[in-house]
Structure 1
Amino acid sequence: MDVLKHLRGGLVVSCQPVDDGPLDRPDIVAAMAQAAVAGGAQGLRIEGVDNLKAVRPTVSVPIIAILKRDLADSPVRITPYVADVKALAEAGADIIAYDATDRPRPETSAVIVQAIREAGVLAMADCSTRADGERALREGASILGTTLSGYTDETADRADGLDTDLIRAFRALDSFVMAEGRVNTPALAAQALQAGADAVTVGTALTRLEIMTGWFATEIRQALR
């Protein structure tokens, strides 16, 4: 399968339940993944080796895999170690995403990308700025994601809404662009494509029931006031 060709113009659903919530089980993540594909998702984003092992046999669409860690000495959470890359590749990832920001980390982004490529899968750079994307392309990433815009100190002022400026900046780099982060409505997904994204990843609005319920509950409470 030509993975990028398959994903181009499509929706990727990030099946990442709220940590330690009632939906945070590999069998439920696999069910979410199957439901997303049934609804038209052309790809999936899955966190964790156990979840990936549960999902991989149930779907044929490309899977972007990550492994999140909370490190005491680094703000980098997404696939920070080469060992994580190897585990995800062995579990069936087609693409492995990693934190591509220029922040203190246990292993360099260049080393992570090299490990991803040596594993025979594509590297997706989860970026926060154009500079992140430029560096990621030099290091060998195949996909630039806007994933971390608004989630770093440097981009804290972008924490609201879709970062169309970063999408356009990545489009100008002639790369495969994945819009990701705060794509909470179908209209925003369409806007991302119009800004130049090749594909769009949606997570919270589709797979984090606690958060979605909270949105509705908050609006109802405010209306009653």
Structure 2
Amino acid sequence: MKPKGLIVSVQAPEGSPMRDPHVIAAMAEASLRHGASGVRLESPEHIGAVRRRCPQALIVGLWKRTYPQSSVYITPSWQEIQAVWAAGADVIAIDATDRDRPGGEALAALVGRATRELGAVVMADVDSVANGLRAAELGCQWVGTTLFGYTEATAGQKPPGWDLIGELRSRLPADVGLICEGGIASADQAKQALSLGADAVVVGTAITGVDLQVMAYLARLAEAA
């Protein structure tokens, strides 16, 4: 199973009225009805809500949780992997950077268990070409540029990770799906990602990020005032 086309990230920040399972499920259904190939969802609660409302949906699931002494927060441990899978995800997205994980768990062990014990497709959220290639070697079937610009090693760099896509596509095995995620703000940019070699593009804030979009508009209007 390779990713294709548009995957819509349907998420909402903590404290937002949009962060309600029924609202998330409605936005996911609207995205799928209009042709999105899948949705990317955060938390078992939201994954379950969308699975019940859209039983045929392709769901990329993750769970953001923070642990002391580790900056890894996207599905960081085996506990989160199990919960995301049990909630109904088809693909489990995990942080696949080279940072230390909570409890000292090894990325290789987590990917191995997810593929062997659960039979899950694993999406590696990475920040560099090296980490993307390593993730594929460990057994991740999808690689995404999700964390480019969001790790200590890429601090100060702004997504999308255009420079990662071409090199990853040329060096990854042909059967590994490549996804451009992070910073895609327009349909033109989404098209550019595919033209550079991505199999699919994940778009979130530009489509479903009501809270952040309103704040961005107001900030620009304040400049004019």
Other structure's SS at 1:158 match: coil
Bigger shift: 103-112 or 120-129? 103-112
Determine the C-alpha separation between the residues in 2 that align with 1:183 and 1:201: 8
Residue 128 (structure 1) aligns with:
127
Q: Structure 2: any 5+ residue segments left out of the alignment?
A: none
From 100, 112, 115, give the equivalent of 1:114. Answer: 112
From 30, 34, 37, give the equivalent of 1:42. Answer: 37
Deviation at 1:144, TM superposition (A): 0.6
Whether the aligned pair in 1 keeps the contact of 2:148 and 2:160 (CA below 8 Å) is no
Deviation at 1:157, TM superposition (A): 3.2
Change in Cα spacing, 1:138 to 1:93, as seen in structure 2 (3 Å) is same
Q: When the two structures are superposed, what TM-score results if normalisation uses the length of structure 1?
A: 0.93
Deviation at 1:130, TM superposition (A): 0.8
Which amino acid in 1 is paired with 2:75?
T
Determine the C-alpha separation between the residues in 2 that align with 1:203 and 1:61: 17
Identical pairs, percent = 39
1:213 has 2:214 as partner = yes
1:83 has 2:79 as partner = yes
Whether the aligned pair in 1 keeps the contact of 2:77 and 2:101 (CA below 8 Å) is no
Determine the C-alpha separation between the residues in 1 that align with 2:119 and 2:107: 17
Deviations 1:93-132 (A, max 9, x none): 1100100000111221112211221211100000000111
Q: How many corresponding residue pairs?
A: 218
RMSD (CA atoms): 1.2
Residue 150 (structure 1) aligns with:
149
Residue 24 (structure 2) aligns with:
29
Determine the C-alpha separation between the residues in 1 that align with 2:27 and 2:11: 9
Residue 180 (structure 2) aligns with:
179
Q: Structure 1: any 5+ residue segments left out of the alignment?
A: none
Other structure's SS at 2:76 match: coil
Residue 63 (structure 2) aligns with:
67
Determine the C-alpha separation between the residues in 2 that align with 1:213 and 1:173: 39
Determine the C-alpha separation between the residues in 2 that align with 1:81 and 1:176: 23
Other structure's SS at 1:37 match: helix
Whether the aligned pair in 2 keeps the contact of 1:85 and 1:115 (CA below 8 Å) is no
Which amino acid in 1 is paired with 2:146?
T
Whether the aligned pair in 2 keeps the contact of 1:34 and 1:58 (CA below 8 Å) is yes
